[in-house]
């Protein structure tokens, strides 16, 4: 969710499964592995549904007329299409694999290229829009981490402050101890705090079909998410391991609010969105609508891999993935943000270096996760930085080279398969042709995948793919 993006959770590693069998509670089994990719295979229902009566404030999709006449370096519009032919084919392959639609943008030395595939509305057949806005899920975490690193640079907090110093008494119970957990450990997912999405009751209420359709417009407070996490034991002692937990970023945003005396939403707007002119980026708070232009978002709302019913999940209260995955943006804005971040426009060198540097614990897990940012190496050796995210109805990825000059961001408006997502990254940065539809693993993440199709009953949100590495 998240991973995720929503807020997002991760598929269990073999080591985490061994720990779970040794005594961790069932929710912890789903815990802990997402790294770059915050993808929730949040999904899949057995029954058809009628959405609760509510006005659709999203409005119709709008296409970008200017995009049909792109010019780069004075060349004809066909030139960028040739340069990104493999990327377009990778988008087409994702749709051929069963996802309704894909939209994405590339910014490089030649200019801007925008691509789409498939549909943005399954009922009308309207195509995905080149300027679509979408729920970015766990890519939100990079925004949160950036603000906290800015606060450190300003001397308003120390990343090695304990959580209890800023939020006394909040992180306690079942072995959790906020006096032993630091802000840095929250941002790096080395705190050991239980991921609230791994709680079976929470998943039934907010993610599976019956609960989601009943509660999709409900407000959920950050404190409620923390309370769910505190009802479970931690997955390890603080600083001793790496395990992706969306609870970390709910806590991090609460620290932000305590230090600044301001809301998390306003801090992100004033420090990042407004200075960079991210006009398509919002922090929606207690809102269930989608801004225009956007496409519909689809989910199966089940953990059953055999489920076939697809639901329209476009409208949902963003508070249910507050600060760990609630933001809405566009591919263009995500590219602008990541490029500015890498070029030092948002952070001093010390903080940017810390953000990009993976923790030893995450490296040992094969994740290469720093502070709200992951490092990815493609099959052709290109080193990238960014994040991915998945939440109900939306899977996204945003990456850029370290100099910020070649950025890619894209979104899928279906959440039940990440097949082809890593191939799309390889296509853009290495020019490799995607595998034929149906010949990939369901994870679609090459050697970096956690697992293929989810097998058997799953007791919590499951990430489709993990390390964010297209190949090894």
Q: Single out the catalytic residue among 5, 138, 319, 388.
A: 138
52: burial class by Cβ within 10 Å (0-12, 13-18, 19+)?
exposed
CB-based contact 169:177 (threshold 8 Å): no
All residues at 6 or more sequence positions from 12 whose CB lies less than 8 Å from its CB, including other chains: 20, 29, 30, 31, 32, 33, 450
Retrieve residue 361's tokens.
Answer: 């614990």
Q: List the one residue out of 298, 254, 52, 63 whose CA is nearest residue 163.
A: 254
Q: List the one residue out of 136, 176, 348, 162 whose CA is nearest residue 255.
A: 162
Distance of CA 285 to the CA centre of its chain: 17
b/e code 216-240 from CB counts within 10 Å (16+ = b): beeebebeebbebbbbbbbbbebbe
Retrieve residue 303's tokens.
Answer: 């953990």
Is-catalytic flag, 417?
A: no
CB-based contact 3:394 (threshold 8 Å): no
What is the C-alpha end-to-end distance of the chain, expressed in Å? 25
CB-based contact 206:316 (threshold 8 Å): no
Q: In residues, how long is the chain?
A: 472
Retrieve residue 23's tokens.
Answer: 């005594």
Rounded to the nearest 10 degrees, the angle between the axes of helix 140-153 and helix 246-260 is 40
CB-based contact 137:397 (threshold 8 Å): no
35: burial class by Cβ within 10 Å (0-12, 13-18, 19+)?
buried
Which amino acids are annotated catalytic?
138
């Amino acid at each position: 969710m998240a991973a995720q993006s929503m807020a997002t959770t991760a598929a269990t590693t073999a080591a985490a499964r061994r720990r779970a069998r040794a005594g961790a509670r069932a929710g912890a089994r789903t815990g802990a592995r997402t790294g770059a990719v915050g993808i929730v295979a949040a999904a899949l229902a057995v029954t058809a549904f009628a959405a609760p009566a509510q006005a659709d404030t999203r409005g119709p999709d709008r296409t970008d007329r200017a995009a049909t006449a792109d010019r780069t370096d004075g060349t004809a519009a066909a030139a960028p299409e040739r340069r990104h032919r493999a990327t377009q084919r990778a988008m087409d392959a994702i749709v051929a694999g069963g996802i309704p639609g894909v939209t994405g943008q590339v910014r490089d030395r030649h200019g801007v290229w925008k691509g789409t595939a498939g549909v943005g509305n399954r009922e009308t057949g309207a195509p995905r829009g080149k300027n679509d806005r979408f729920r970015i899920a766990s890519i939100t975490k990079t925004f949160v981490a950036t603000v906290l690193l800015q606060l450190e640079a300003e001397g308003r907090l120390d990343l090695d402050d304990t959580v209890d110093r800023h939020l006394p008494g909040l992180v306690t119970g079942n072995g959790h101890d906020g006096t032993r957990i630091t802000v840095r450990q929250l941002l790096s997912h080395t705190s050991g705090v239980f991921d609230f999405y791994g709680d079976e009751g929470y998943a039934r209420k907010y993610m599976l079909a019956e609960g989601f359709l009943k509660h999709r417009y409900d407000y959920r407070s950050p404190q409620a998410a923390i309370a769910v996490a505190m009802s479970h034991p931690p997955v390890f002692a603080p600083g001793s391991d790496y395990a992706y937990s969306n609870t970390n970023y709910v806590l991090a945003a609460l620290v932000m609010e305590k230090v600044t005396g301001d809301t998390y939403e306003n801090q992100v707007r004033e420090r990042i969105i407004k200075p960079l002119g991210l006009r398509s980026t919002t922090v929606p708070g207690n809102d269930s609508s989608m801004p225009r232009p956007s496409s519909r978002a689809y989910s199966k709302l089940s953990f059953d891999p055999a489920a076939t019913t697809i639901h329209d999940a476009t409208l949902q209260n963003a508070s249910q993935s507050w600060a760990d995955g609630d933001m809405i943006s566009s591919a263009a804005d995500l590219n602008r943000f990541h490029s500015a971040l890498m070029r030092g426009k948002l952070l001093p060198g010390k903080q940017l270096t810390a953000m990009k540097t993976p923790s030893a614990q995450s490296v040992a897990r094969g994740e290469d996760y720093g502070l709200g940012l992951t490092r990815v190496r493609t099959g052709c050796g290109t080193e990238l930085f960014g994040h991915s995210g998945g939440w109900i109805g939306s899977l996204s990825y945003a990456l850029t080279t370290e100099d910020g000059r070649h950025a890619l961001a894209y979104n899928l408006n279906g959440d039940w398969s990440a097949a082809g997502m890593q191939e799309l990254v390889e296509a853009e940065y290495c020019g490799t042709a995607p595998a034929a539809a149906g010949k990939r693993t369901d994870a679609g993440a090459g050697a970096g995948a956690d697992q293929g199709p989810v097998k058997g009953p799953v007791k919590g949100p499951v990430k489709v793919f993990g390390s964010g590495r297209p190949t090894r």
